[in-house]
Structure 1
Amino acid sequence: MTAANKTGHPLFIICVFILILNDWYLKPVFHNTLTGKLSDFAGLFALPYLLSSLMPKHTLKIHVWTGLLFIVWKSELAEPLITFANSFRIPISRTIDFTDNIALISLLFSYYILKSSFALNIKPILHKALVAASCLAFAATSMPPRENRTFTQIDKVYTFDISKRELVSRLNMVQTREVYKINKGSGKVDFNEDSNVFYFQGSTDTLALLLDYRNIHNGDTIRLKTSVADIMITGDDRKSELKLLTVYKTVPLYSDKDYRTKTIREFEKRIVKRIESYR
């Protein structure tokens, strides 16, 4: 059975159609758990199916690697790659939800159908059109329409039983850890000793700025690049406070989900809890 015959399978065509419909219409309009799962099931069938039809000798390897990469993608291991891509305004994203791994069953259906004798004869021009439509569908799944949102007037205060100086030191440790993760994934982070700024090679955009305790005064607004937030630090030699003023997040276009609360929780997990954990 030729590649053209395989791409003419009705189930493959349906999955490609579902991907396009879901990512270009259903997700922006409804954006719920069902639309997310729908893309996973359809994508995990269509992607390895298409690649295997083009490279039939590597069918098993393609399906195994697709499954492994999907598991990694749905875990925190992919976070450095996503952060690196987003820093260049490449809008890729995903939600960590291990129940999404249920969709791995689609790999079994894809592999089974490829090994079956069922075939449809389609013209070469239709085969090329299906391949092009598939690539378009996969791109739409990886980079759905998104927009930048700003959540202001949060004014949430976190109190620590440490000095203001120690708070700044721990905050720098948290930022350094974030930068380390990004550099581990890209290997393209540089540091300017004169300005205490981390930045990407070939770029003047600030990735992170290490704070100097001597230059921070009560009431100063500080922009944390690694967590995309504006904060204020106050305190003395015994206690200190971190006030969250504003958070920024790239979210799916037209979504009415409560990203304000979610973004605040992400800040608390990435920054506040790590500050508390350092000794």
Structure 2
Amino acid sequence: MKPLRNKYLILNYIFIFCVVILFLNDHFFKHIFSSWFTGKLSDMVGIIILPLILTYIFPKLKIHSVWISALLFAFWKSPYSGKVIEMYNKFTLIPITRVVDYSDLLVIVFLPVSYYLIKKINCLNLLKIQKINPAFILFPTGFVLMATAPPPSFSYTYSNGNLNCRKCVIRVAMTQKEIVDRLKENQIVFDTVYPMSESTYKKYPFFKQDDIHFYTIKKFVIDKDTLKNVDFAMRSIGENQTTLHFNGLQTSDDISTIRLFVKARKHYSKIIFKELSDALENKQPENGLKEN
């Protein structure tokens, strides 16, 4: 007899909670509160969700979906999945990437939660969600899972500062060398230019392809503001075209709430890009900049 799908594997409050956290973390928390915890949070809830979905779609798997999920997750987090990602990115409008970080495998310890739900869900009446078609949960969950892999830009818009700015970028009609030289002529000097090692290129192959480099200004004075440890990245996007990313800085401002954080990020990105734009356009105004 063909086993029936148990809709309560996905129609339960733990599953819904994990999906909501996954969505919020990938699209908000990681960008606003970038930390080790938010970096691992998506993996934590994702590893709970995956076996439940597999068992719902393929009822014959039963608890075997737990160890299958562990193997799939380990493969995804290994270098061996690189070829699969490259092939996927050739045919998709939204490219993805992933970081080979074996510490992510620690989240496998959350698989007993999935195991328990698969074994006991029929007895856990308080967790069940009634009178909802499973399709209304399954399809949105699929989109959330597909969007959980960060885009390539996520890996080169990181900052060690307490104020990060993931999507703060302008496009410059110059090469990276021309940008560095022009800024230097206007007394804006990068204190640190991070060299790229072979291990870095192995971890992020597109860094070499897109000629991505990282820079830091330890002390950046703009009018009355003295900014510390201002992190940048540059990426070549064509002949004499570069995207210049302001990734973040260290600030003593009160950024304890989302409102204060967003306000500070808006303020600093505005004054930094204005200062850089003025310096880059100082000698040749025809080399313009435009926000990306």
TM-score normalised by structure 1 residue count: 0.52
Over the matched positions of the two proteins, sequence identity in percent amounts to: 28
RMSD: 3.9
CA deviation profile, 1:173-201 (whole Å, cap 9, x unmatched): xxxxx9xxx9xxxxxxxxxxxxxxxxxxx
Equivalence for 1:95: 99
Equivalence for 1:44: 47
- Is the aligned partner of 1:256 residue 2:247? yes
- Is the aligned partner of 1:128 residue 2:128? no
Q: Looking at both structures, which has the greater relative contact order when contacts are Cα pairs under 8 Å and sequence separation is at least 6?
A: 1
Taking the TM superposition and a 5 Å limit, the aligned residue runs for 1:1-279 are: 3-88=6-91, 90-116=94-120, 117-119=123-125, 120=128, 122-125=130-133, 127-144=134-151, 146=153, 152-153=176-177, 227-229=209-211, 248=236, 256=247
Secondary structure, aligned partner of 2:124:
coil
**2: CA distance between counterparts of 1:47 and 1:136?**
13
**2: CA distance between counterparts of 1:55 and 1:73?**
21
CA deviation profile, 1:231-258 (whole Å, cap 9, x unmatched): xxxxxxxxxxxxxxx7559xxxx98269
Residue 225 to residue 8, structure 1, CA distance change in 2 (3 Å): closer
CA deviation profile, 1:56-103 (whole Å, cap 9, x unmatched): 221333222221121121122222233333455642111121111111
**1: CA distance between counterparts of 2:86 and 2:33?**
26
**2: CA distance between counterparts of 1:69 and 1:13?**
22
Segment of structure 1 superposing worse, 28-37 or 80-89: 80-89
Secondary structure, aligned partner of 2:130:
coil
CA shift for structure 1 position 142: 2.4
**1: CA distance between counterparts of 2:246 and 2:87?**
24
Secondary structure, aligned partner of 2:96:
coil
C-alpha contact (below 8 Å) 1:23/1:39 kept by paired residues: yes
Residue 90 to residue 136, structure 1, CA distance change in 2 (3 Å): closer
Secondary structure, aligned partner of 1:93:
coil
What amino acid maps onto 2:176 in structure 1? T
**2: CA distance between counterparts of 1:255 and 1:50?**
39
CA shift for structure 1 position 26: 1.1
Secondary structure, aligned partner of 1:256:
strand
**1: CA distance between counterparts of 2:68 and 2:80?**
16
**2: CA distance between counterparts of 1:226 and 1:61?**
41
Query: What stretches of structure 2 of length at least 5 have no aligned partner?
Result: 157-168, 182-192, 196-201, 213-233, 238-244, 250-292
Query: What stretches of structure 1 of length at least 5 have no aligned partner?
Result: 159-177, 183-223, 231-245, 259-279
**2: CA distance between counterparts of 1:255 and 1:33?**
21
**1: CA distance between counterparts of 2:35 and 2:246?**
9
